[in-house]
Amino acid sequence: MAFLTLCATFSFEIFMRASQIFIPTLKETPAEAELVSHQLLLRGGFIRRLASGLYTWMPLGLRVLRKVERIVREEMDRSGAQEVLMPVVQPAELWQESGRWEKYGPELLRLKDRHQRDFCLGPTHEEVISDLARREIHSYKQLPVNFYQIQTKFRDEIRPRFGLMRGREFIMKDAYSFHMDHASLEITYQTMYDAYQRTFTRLGLDFRAVEADNGAIGGKRSHEFHVLADSGEDAIVSCDHCDYAANMEKASSPAKVAPVEAPLEAARVQTPGIRTVAEQAAMLGISSSQIVKTVLVVAGEQPVMLLLRGDDELNLIKAAHALEVDEVRMATPEEAESATGAPLGFIGPKDLSTAIRVLADHRALNVSNFSTGANEMDTHWVNLNWDRDLSRPDSADLRNVRAGDPCPHCSAGTLGIRRGIEVGHVFQLGQVYSERMKITVLDESGRDATVTMGCYGIGVSRVVAAAVEQHFDERGIIWPASLSPFDVGIVAINARKFPEVAAAAQALHDRLEQAGFSVLLDDRDERPGVQFATMDLIGLPHRVVVSDKVLAQNVWEYRARRASENTLVNEAELMDLLNAGSPVHQP
RNA sequence: CGGGGCGUAGCGCAGCUUGGUAGCGCGCCUGCUUUGGGAGCAGGAUGUCGUAGGUUCAAAUCCUAUCGCCCCGACCA
C-alpha cells in the first residue's frame, strides 16, 4: 500500500497545501482478472470491484477518467454540441411508448418506486432526449441541434467481464442530434465523425473507424470506432491498400468469377453418419470449397434454406438484410427437418419435396461439380452443376469475409482481419424514434414535420481500459501522455536520510507545477526498488529521480516510462524533455 | 440460459480424498539493521473456513439447500 504525497503549491505563499493520494498497489494479480487492463488497473490501485460489473474509481483511476472526459467534452463543445445531463432513472411510460419496454429484454434493469410505478435504469437515453425534444423544440428555426451528456449507464449484461471493458455500470458520452431533413443530418454526422477522429487521436489511441451495420433500427450510415488490440472482442476488417474498413457484420468482398470446370457425371453416393462439412469432404475426398452446404434458418416466422460454399461462414446479419426481416436465427433440428422433409446433415437444394424459399450466397453459385445433401438419410450428391442439375436460386451476400479476400473498394488490395475494442459509434437514426415518439416541428410552410435524428456514443470508461490494453509492458501501464493521471513522477531516494534530497525534490516539484505540469512526488520512506516498481506500475510517462548522488553532480536523472536507460540532464533540458510531448508516441 | 470451476486472514493459496478444533507466502503493526529495481532479522495482530440447515461425540473437511464470483458456450447442418 502506498501513500504518495501530492503537493499543490501557491507560488509565493508560505502556506503550502500538502495532501496525500491513496494508491493501494498490489504485488500479486487478483485471480478474478483475466485481461491485462483489468489486472493492471487493479494492481495499480486505479479501480476496485464492488460486485459483478460494478467498480469504484479510486483516486488515481478517477484522475484518468477525468482526463478522458475532459478531452471528450472539449471536442464535443468544439463541434457545436451542447452539454446537458439527463436522469439515470427513467419512467417506464417513455419506454413503453418507444416499444422498447418489451423489446429490450432483461438487460434493462426495471424497478418500482414506492407508489409501485415502473421505472428503469437508463442503458441509453433516446427516450428521454426524444421526450425533451418534442416538449421544447417546436420550430424548424430551432434546428439543427445536438445535445450530449457524459453520464452513467446501466445495462444488466448477461455476463459482465473484463473489468471496465464490459461492466454493467459504465460511463458513456452520448449525443443526439435533431434535423429537418437528411441533408442536415448528414452534415452533423460528418462533424461528429471528424470530432471522433480528433478525440481518439488526442487520447493517444491507435484506432480505426469502420463501417458498421445499422441493425434492425435501420438508418443509412453507421461507423464504429475501434481501438486496435489483440484482446478486442470484435473482428474488424480492413484493406491493406486503400482506407476501406468495416466490422465483420458489414464487411463484404466481391465474389470472383471462378473458372467453370468441365462437368462430370452427377451421382448419388452413400455417406453414412456424415454430419459436418469437414466429415463430408474427408469421406468424399474433396475440398470443403467443393461442397455447397445447406443452412436452415428462420426469418421472421418463415423457414428459409440458405446455400453457402462449404468453407464459408454464414453471416446472420447479412441474411436478415437479404431476407428483409429484423432478425434471422438458426432453425432447430426439428424445424429444419419438418421444413424440408429431409434428415439433418443430408438436406440439399436438389429435388426438394417441400416448398421452401431458397437463397444462395454469390460464391455458392460459382462452384462446379459440387457436392450437397440428397435429402435422404446417409446420402449426398456429387458432381452437381448449376443449370444442368438444378436451377440457380436467387443470390445475395451471405458470408463472412475472410483474411485474404479481395477488397470491395479497390482492385489492388486484399482484406485483413484484426481485433478491435469498440469505443465509439456514430449512427444515423433517421426517423425511427421521432415517429414513435412523435417529435414534430413546424416547417417553413407551417406544417408539421417529423424530425430526423442521429446519435453518437463514446464509451468513456471503456476508453480507460482500452488505452491500457494498447499501452503496457511487463512492469505495468504506460499511459498515453494525454491520459496519464500525472504528467511527471518524482522519486526522492532516501529522502529521510538526506534532507537535502527531500528539499530538492520538493522544490523541483514546485517548479514543475508552476511550469504547468501535474506532478506526483514519491517522498515515501521506502526502498528505491519499491518506489521504482510503483512508478512503473502506475505508468506515468516521465520519471525524475532525485538522490544524493544526482544532487552532487548538480543534475536530474530522467527516464521516459518506455525507456530502459536513465539520462542525466540539467533543468532546462529536463523541461525540454517534458515539453517534447510524450515519448509514448515515438515509434 | 447451458456446461465447468472456485468461495479458508487485506491479496495469492494449501488443508478437504481418509472428520479431531486452521496454516504458508505477500501485505499490515512494533523494533533494530538496511537503502538504486517490490530488503534482512526478531516480535506481533488479523479468520463466526460464503450463508443456512443436516449427519456426527466432533464438520473447513461428509450431505442438502442457498448466495456470491470466475471461465467456456450460446451460428455451420
A304 in any annotated domain: yes
Residue A216 sits in the same domain as residue A96: yes
State pLDDT tens for residues A267-289: 999 988 887 888 888 888 888 88
Q: What is the CA A52 to C1' B56 distance in angstroms?
A: 38
Q: Are A140 and A449 in contact (CB under 8 A)?
A: yes
A493 in any annotated domain: yes
Residue A220 sits in the same domain as residue A284: no
DSSP letters spanning A340-368: HSS-TT---STT-SS--EEEEEGGGGG--
In CATH, what number is assigned to the domain containing residue A116? 3.30.930.10
Residue A176 sits in the same domain as residue A89: yes
pLDDT greater than 80 at residue A17: no
Q: What is the CA A283 to C1' B5 distance in angstroms?
A: 38
pLDDT greater than 90 at residue A175: yes
- Confidence band for A4, pLDDT divided at 50, 70 and 90: low
State pLDDT tens for residues A511-522: 999 999 999 999
DSSP letters spanning A133-180: HHHH--BGGG-SEEEEEEEEEE---SS-BTGGGB-SEEEEEEEEEEES
Where a domain ends, among A396, A428, A448? Answer: A396
Q: What backbone phi and psi angles, to 5 degrees, belong to A275? A: -120, -35
Assign A195 to helix, strand or coil: helix
Residue A129 sits in the same domain as residue A214: yes
A59 in any annotated domain: no
Q: Are A127 and A97 in contact (CB under 8 A)?
A: yes
Average pLDDT (A24-46) is 90
In CATH, what number is assigned to the domain containing residue A543? 3.40.50.800
Residue A420 sits in the same domain as residue A378: no
Q: Write down the pLDDT at residue A581.
A: 62
Residue A108 sits in the same domain as residue A186: yes
pLDDT greater than 50 at residue A30: yes
Domain that holds residue A516: 2-31+486-585
In CATH, what number is assigned to the domain containing residue A292? 3.90.960.10
Q: What is the ipTM for the molecules in this complex?
A: 0.90
State pLDDT tens for residues A204-244: 999 999 998 776 555 578 999 999 998 888 889 989 899 89
How many independent structural domains does chain A possess? 3
Where a domain ends, among A460, A495, A513? Answer: A460
A326 in any annotated domain: yes
| Residue A277: CB less than 7 A from any atom in strand B | yes
State pLDDT tens for residues A125-165: 999 999 999 999 999 999 999 999 999 999 988 778 888 99
Asked, as a colleague might, if the bond just before A144 is cis with ω within 30 of 0, I would say: yes
A467 in any annotated domain: no
Q: What percent of chain A has pLDDT over 90?
A: 59
A230 in any annotated domain: no
Q: Write down the pLDDT at residue A121.
A: 93
- Confidence band for A251, pLDDT divided at 50, 70 and 90: confident
Across all residues in chain A, what is the average pLDDT? 89
Which residue's CA lies closest to nucleotide B74 at its C1' atom?
A158
A234 in any annotated domain: no
pLDDT greater than 50 at residue A586: no
Pairing outcome for strands A267-270 and A379-384: antiparallel
Q: What is the CA A197 to C1' B66 distance in angstroms?
A: 50
Strand B near-CB residues (< 7 Å), A 412-471: none
Residue A360 sits in the same domain as residue A440: no
Ramachandran category for residue A499: left, alpha or beta (phi over 0 → left; psi -120 to 50 → alpha): alpha
Residue A10 sits in the same domain as residue A91: no
Residue A92 sits in the same domain as residue A196: yes
Q: Comparing A130 with A336, which gets the higher pLDDT?
A: A130
- Confidence band for A72, pLDDT divided at 50, 70 and 90: very high
| Residue A344: CB less than 7 A from any atom in strand B | yes
| Residue A293: CB less than 7 A from any atom in strand B | yes
Query: Which residue, among A126, A121, A120, A166, has the nearest Cα to A149 in the 3D structure?
Result: A126
Residue A168 sits in the same domain as residue A202: yes
A118 in any annotated domain: yes
Q: Rank A112-116, A222-226, A247-251, A252-256 by mean pLDDT and report only the highest.
A: A222-226
Residue A490 sits in the same domain as residue A552: yes
Residue A106 sits in the same domain as residue A178: yes
Q: Write down the pLDDT at residue A215.
A: 60
Q: What is the CA A51 to C1' B50 distance in angstroms?
A: 14
Q: Find which nucleotide's C1' atom is closest to A288's CA.
A: B76
| Residue A559: CB less than 7 A from any atom in strand B | yes
Q: Write down the pLDDT at residue A325.
A: 82
Strand B near-CB residues (< 7 Å), A 174-203: none
